[in-house]
Structure 1
Amino acid sequence: MFNNLDLNFTSISLLLVIAALSFRFLYNSTTPRPPTMMNPRGGARIPFRRRPLVPPPDPQPPTTTTSYEIGPEDVMQVKDILAKTRNLPPELVDMIMDRAEYWTCSTTSINYPKPVSVLGARPGEDQFLLRTPPLGLKWSPASRDLWRVESEPKQLQQEYPLSELEKLVDGPMSTLENPFRRVVFDIVSRDQGWGGDSAHHNTYHHSFTWFDAGLERFDMNHDCPSTCPDHVNQGSSENSSNIPTCAIRPLWPPVVPNEGGAPGMRYNHELLADQDHLIQRNKLADKTWQHHHVEWSWDDKVDSTNTDSPAVRDLDNAGRGIGTACGEFVRNLKYGDMITVWARARFGGWSNNIQKVEVKVYWAF
């Protein structure tokens, strides 16, 4: 009798297992399941929340954000520790900090919830993306609207002297001749994924979508009318300085007089990439998103005039500007400079598609 009971119990258990597996199979085959991730503490997997049936409204337009990885106060604390606990002279402390690359780092980034496209042969084929805050200064714009767009195409007439900018420096002045040490670009983008010279597909040659680095400075001879948004909002921010956003002037891209004798100035955007400002091209006819990490350092020494050198060929094959690894851009940076990023596309059918752009600037005290 017990044997029959055991057999019946086993049969019932087997049927329950088969039923459960069948239900799971049918459920998995007809109902989409959310992805899962491992519990950070180990053990069972934790499912992500299911997406709502009604899609959420479109997100707000992207805005640039700026943060510090290593702030000025961090650098000063470490220098103070080395000087006091080790009784080291200031010159040696500076050498140690610089050799260790313990530099202040500001990060400016823009992320697009939905990728944006810059189209060639269209009015917007030269697109301003972002600018860094004035390098080394404790400053914030009074008008966010003016900050998010390209500066007016006006000539720089008179730079602010260092004695004026010292009042805004975030920390002590550096004793180095070239305090700005490195600029790092991280870009996630791709082209339209087709077209171009088929012999160069999946390479960076003959690619006509790319990114450039520009440069801006404050002009002492600015004229901020009472109707300017920057002037109106000047008193709304505790961190706003006496230098308004409308005082920003582009050094590159250059500005030239309007054509046909029309009053005013305009940006002069070249047809092809400028090798001294080209950050990165997109890979030709590649549909996958590419993450490009590009570093410019103050001590780079690649001679772009020697086009037969392996270093220059490596830069060209990697889709970078052959004139950007000589160190001049970083060495020439000054307090208060603003680095900008521009997206380009040339000719009909070409599209520069962008997910993210980030710029990190490192400088020493």
Structure 2
Amino acid sequence: MIPRNRRGHARPSASIRTPNNPPRQPSDPPPPISPGTPEQTMDETPHYPRDARDVYHAAFLLRQVLVPDLVPIILDHAEYWVCASSAEEKDQTVASRDSPLLYLTSAPIRRTCRSRAAVKKVVFTITSHDQGYCSFPEAGNWTWFTAVRRRPLSSSSSSSAEDASQPSLPNQSELVLTSNTMANHNFETHTIAWPDDESPGQSEGATRDWVRGLATGDQIEVNACARFDGWMNYVRRVRVDVFTSAVA
């Protein structure tokens, strides 16, 4: 039986207790961050799919309701690709005498499909600046970055003497990535995305062929360059994200 007061209203139950502190209102400021609390950065934002298993699971679900041939097309259109990242963060200065300077070598590309590494896109993120001044801007910009596609020497033994005498050489196909903003002494971050179709600002088919030429085991090198006296390339950070398809 519910206890009631003299006016007939139900009394509050003794087991119901109000909190010592009222709930925080949306207008209240957030609590301060303690000195030991790490702040989340862009690099810590989780990427989905997390690995090839996520892609396989999505493909399995789509195949329950769609024609199987449509599944890879849909996944590619959604860019539901596995991402492998390599990054280097250290302040380095590149002058003409040091150019080109190898700043980053990515991890070898891993196979995600059953038969090959189907690379769909490569994204370069570079933080840098030049010497901060330029007396003759009409003479051009002479601090820049290049990407090199390198293929390790084959370790497998050859069955013929001719093949053994001519081992496969590193694939050093090189393209210009970007230049620093001229005469700027502040660090800037440049993001360059190369899909497996075509990218603006390159010769016809250059980036498409470069990306499509990547295979399992290949590594990507990023070089910092400078030319002529007075030109300096200040590099702080480089990151390479390789996106591969797990369903063909």
Deviation at 1:170, TM superposition (A): 4.4
* SS of equivalent to 1:90: coil
Hey, what does 1:134 align to over in structure 2? 108
Query: CA distance change for structure 1 residues 183 and 198 in 2, over 3 Å: closer, same or farther?
Result: same
> Is 1:187 the counterpart of 2:173 in the alignment?
no
Alignment of 1:172 onto 2:114: yes
Other-structure match for 1:116: 92
- Judge conservation of contact 2:105–2:222 (CA < 8 Å) in 1: yes
**Residues 64-107 of structure 1: per-residue CA shift (max 9 Å, x gap):** xxx975321211111122224x2x34322112111211111111
In structure 1, the residue matched to 2:53 is 73
Corresponding residue number in structure 1 for 2:83: 105
- SS of structure 2 residue aligned to 1:329: helix
1:213 is matched with which residue: 140, 147, 172? 147
Q: Give the secondary structure class of the aligned counterpart of 1:327.
A: helix
CA distance in 2 between counterparts of 1:332 and 1:212 reads: 16
In structure 1, what is the equivalent of residue 160 of structure 2?
none
Match of 1:250 among 170, 176, 181: 170
Aligned length: 202
Residues 37-62 of structure 1, C-alpha deviations (whole Å, 9 max, x = no match): xxx9952673775xxxxxxxxxxxxx
More helix by share: 1
Which runs of 5 or more residues in structure 1 are unaligned? 1-39, 50-66, 138-168, 200-204, 224-246, 254-275, 303-310, 316-320
Q: Distance in 1 between matches of 2:229 and 2:239?
A: 28
Structure 1 residues 231-282: Cα deviation after superposition (integer angstroms, max 9, x where no partner) = xxxxxxxxxxxxxxxx9963226xxxxxxxxxxxxxxxxxxxxxx6000111
Conserved in 2, the CA contact under 8 Å of 1:207 and 1:284?
A: yes
2:125 touches 2:190 (CA, 8 Å); kept in 1? yes
| Cα displacement (A) at 1:185 | 0.8
Q: List runs of 5+ in structure 2 lacking aligned partners.
A: 1-25, 36-45, 158-166
Is the 1:132–1:339 contact (alpha carbons within 8 Å) kept by the matching residues of 2? yes
Specify the code of the residue in structure 2 equivalent to 1:340: E
Quick one: distance in 2 between partners of 1:76 and 1:185? 27
Alignment of 1:1-365 (within 5 A): 42-43=28-29, 46=32, 49=35, 70=49, 71-84=51-64, 86=65, 88-112=66-90, 115-120=91-96, 122=97, 124-135=98-109, 137=110, 169-170=111-112, 172-173=114-115, 179-199=118-138, 206-221=140-155, 250-252=170-172, 277-300=175-198, 315=201, 322=203, 326-365=207-246
Q: 1:173 to 1:107 in 2, by over 3 A?
A: same
Q: Secondary structure of the equivalent of 1:283?
A: coil
For the Cα contact (< 8 Å) 1:190–1:288, is it kept in 2? yes
Partner AA of 1:297 in structure 2: P
- Of all paired residues, the percent bearing the same amino acid is 28
One-letter identity of the residue aligned with 1:284 = M
CA distance change for structure 1 residues 326 and 218 in 2, over 3 Å: closer, same or farther?
closer
TM-score (normalised: structure 1): 0.49
Q: CA deviation at 1:345?
A: 1.2
RMSD over aligned CA atoms reads 3.3
C-alpha spacing 1:188/1:322, structure 2 compared with 1 (3 Å): farther
Match for 2:59: what amino acid? K
Q: Secondary structure at the match of 1:117?
A: strand
User: SS of 1:95's equivalent?
Assistant: helix
Report the AA paired with residue 216 of structure 1.
Answer: R
